[in-house]
Amino acid sequence: MSFLWYVCLTKQSLSLSNMKKILSILAAGLLLFSGLTFAKDKYNPISSSVYSLGISPDAVASGMGDLGVATTPDVYSQYWNPSKYAFIESKAGFALSYTPWLSQLASDIDLAALTGYYKLDDKQALSGSLRYFSLGEVILRQMLDDPGYSIQPYEMELDMGYSRLLSENFSMGVSLRYIVSDLMSGDDPAGRAFSADIGAFYKKPVYFGRERGSWALGADISNIGTKISYDGGNTNYFLPANLRLGTSVCYPLDQYNKFNFSFDANKLLVPTPKDSSDYGENISPIKAIFTSFSDAPNGLKEELQEIYWSLGAEYAYNDQFFVRGGYYYENENKGNRKYYTFGAGFKMSMFRLDASYLVSQSQSNPLDKTLRFSLAFDLEGIKMLIGR
């Protein structure tokens, strides 16, 4: 069953037993949002829980194909690679992001995020974020003529991070996360879990003629943590632990014009299911990280299919006006998310505003026409403006 069908069903009259079944499948991570045509004998997506952990929260990275592990450090780095904060130049900042999710199917599913950072000194930074994913209103009925009652399933993540420069060109960072996934809104126990991210970032100046640009490498392992349960610990599901590797090049044309080119590759670090009932119950999350590179039923060919990647580019004029584009690819046997993204932004000393738009390769993809909006504030710029 796809996530598309989940959304369609929750807008209809459901029996309580069927609703629990649907939500338990969502908790297992089986409700992927492909909604596309695939070969049933080859389609074998990886299952994980807490669906919202895989949604890109900000409009900057989303405008470049949903990538960000090695891009220019900014206020949104917490989700992509917390180690980048050690390179950020401003003293402190925060941002708000909003995404109407699957808006072609429902009007009340959305993701909201608050992100911020504070530089302790030239080498250290603290960061944090709060994400809230609402699945909208769901009506539960025992029978079709029953007036029923409404619930509002949601997922929430709160995390704190620390990053530090270890040399002039290299930094590392960690973040700790507390997760709540309440899919029955009080009817069943909410799932709760803890996880951690570990990131590394290398950035080196590079000269293109007389103009100084840069080259960067990034790596991040996210959602290393406990399993999550929705039935008091009887059944446990994996968090979407993920390895993200990437590189980025800043190419300046002159003093005012520059391009940024970026590439990210991702691999989920959870077991590949052997069949539809295989949730990896007997494998610990740490062991799963190591076995995930060699457990695909069809060997190396299927392991390579589990790598999804993004390409992105950004044009910046005077570090104030931005135009972005990107492409996201996931193999058809692992989810079949393939789409283009476009974005634009405007930046001043005290704030920046960004937006992105998604265009799917397939018209049946419910992600098509997804919009994201982000508004960021630089506290140093605000302080300077007030002090005038």
- Overall average pLDDT of the 266-291 stretch: 81
**Residue whose C-alpha is closest to residue 127's, from 175, 95, 196, 187:** 175
pTM of the model: 0.86
Per-residue pLDDT at 114:
97
- Strands 307-317 and 321-329 turn out to be antiparallel
Among the residue ranges 84-88, 188-192, 224-228, 343-347, the one predicted with the least confidence is: 188-192
- End-to-end Cα distance, the chain: 59
Residue 297: pLDDT band with limits 50, 70, 90:
confident
For residues 302 and 290, what is the distance between their CA atoms, to the nearest angstrom?
16
Domain of 187: which CATH number? 2.40.160.40
Count of domains for the chain: 1
- The per-residue pLDDT of the chain, averaged, comes to 85
% of the chain exceeding 90 in pLDDT:
60
309 pairs with which residues across the strands? 265, 329
- Overall average pLDDT of the 307-331 stretch: 96
**Residue whose C-alpha is closest to residue 230's, from 180, 272, 191, 280:** 191
pLDDT at 21 over 90: no
pLDDT at 177 over 90: yes
- Overall average pLDDT of the 302-321 stretch: 95
Per-residue pLDDT at 356:
96
The one-character DSSP state at 135 is -
For residues 327 and 355, what is the distance between their CA atoms, to the nearest angstrom?
16
The one-character DSSP state at 47 is P
Structure tokens at 161: 């991070």
Higher model confidence: residue 71 or residue 10?
Answer: 71
Higher model confidence: residue 362 or residue 70?
Answer: 70
Per-residue pLDDT at 147:
73
- Overall average pLDDT of the 254-269 stretch: 96
Beta-carbon count within 10 A of 38 CB: 16
Among the residue ranges 210-214, 308-312, 318-322, the one predicted with the least confidence is: 210-214
What is the DSSP track for 306-338? TEEEEEEEEEEETTTEEEEEEEEE--TTTT--E
- Counting beta carbons within 10 angstroms of the beta carbon of residue 247, is it exposed (0 to 12), middle (13 to 18) or buried (19 or more)? middle
CA 328 to chain centre: 13
Structure tokens at 315: 């044009």
Helices of type H across 76-191: 77-80
Mapped onto helix, strand or coil, the DSSP state of residue 20 is: helix
Per-residue pLDDT at 146:
73
- For 219-257, the pLDDT digits (tens) are 999 999 999 988 877 888 999 999 999 999 999 999 899
State which residues form the domain around 329: 3-387
Per-residue pLDDT at 137:
80
Residue 111: pLDDT band with limits 50, 70, 90:
very high
Residue 323: pLDDT band with limits 50, 70, 90:
very high
- Overall average pLDDT of the 305-320 stretch: 96
